[in-house]
Amino acid sequence: MILSNYRSEDKVLLAVDGIIFGFDKEKLKILLVQRDFEPEKGKWSLIGGFLKREENLDQAAIRILHHLTGLNNIYMEQVYSFSKVDRDPAERTISVAYYALIDIASHDRKLLKQNPIQWFNLKDAPELIFDHNRMVERALATLRRRALNKPIGFELLPEKFTMRQLQKLYEAILDTKLDKRNFINKFNSFDILIKLDEKDMSSSKKGAFLFQFDEEKYKRKVEEGFNFKL
């Protein structure tokens, strides 16, 4: 079929929306933007934009995230496509949702401040426009599955972290209390952490040892058939 034969077909907009999850050592958070245009001006929204002709979806997601937040080199993963006919009252729009993972302590100072962007505790987040709440629910379900099957949570932690911080992260993602001894034993059995000689002295006089994630070792273990299962 030659290109001219497409002229009679319907044209629709393709949006890319980002569910940006962050962790502040205690709680799972989400980054939202307050809209400064209609429809739904003044309400809270996911970070988003539209696909350009010369881009693929991944490139659009990276561009939009950087344009609105100033952030680069962030873990992102496509979640789902949302195509309900009346999902956007302004125009027929299909949206492809991505989620991203950010360690807030390492990246918050890099966030652009000219946009009305704000972190919210995930459980206290405001009602969002259109079908963005459904996008968040879908992304959270995906994140929980990934966290149980790969060490995806390390994208949300600083380079050096305590076992308590690691456990708090997984409890925040899974929304459940985990047994401390079982959790530590399980992670130690994976043999993908490096225990440092340094301690975090902020939580107690005795302090807590700091750890790092050994990414190269993890990759080698996966190639050898290692199965991460929390």
Q: What is the per-residue pLDDT across 149-195, written as a single tens digit (0 to 9) for each?
A: 989 888 999 999 999 999 999 999 999 999 999 999 999 999 999 99
Please give, one letter per residue, the 3-state secondary structure of 184-222: HHHHHHHCCEEEEEEEECCCCCCCEEEEEECHHHHHHHH
- Domain map (residue ranges) of the chain: 3-149, 159-223
Q: For the chain, give the longest Cα–Cα distance.
A: 74
Q: Is 73 left (phi over 0), alpha (psi -120 to 50) or beta?
A: left
Give the phi and the psi of residue 32 in degrees, each rounded to 5. -125, 160
Buried b (16+ CB within 10 A) or exposed e, 84-119: eeebbeeeebbbbbbbbbbbbeebeeebeeeeebeb
Task: Quickly list H helices, the chain.
Answer: 57-69, 104-107, 132-149, 163-174, 180-190, 215-223
pLDDT at position 60: 97
CATH number assigned to the domain covering 159-223: 1.10.10.10
**3-149 matches 159-223 in fold:** no
Positions in the chain whose pLDDT score sits under 70: 1-4, 113-114
CATH number assigned to the domain covering 3-149: 3.90.79.10
The dihedral built from the CA positions of residue 68, 153, 103 and 194, taken in this order, carries a sign that is negative
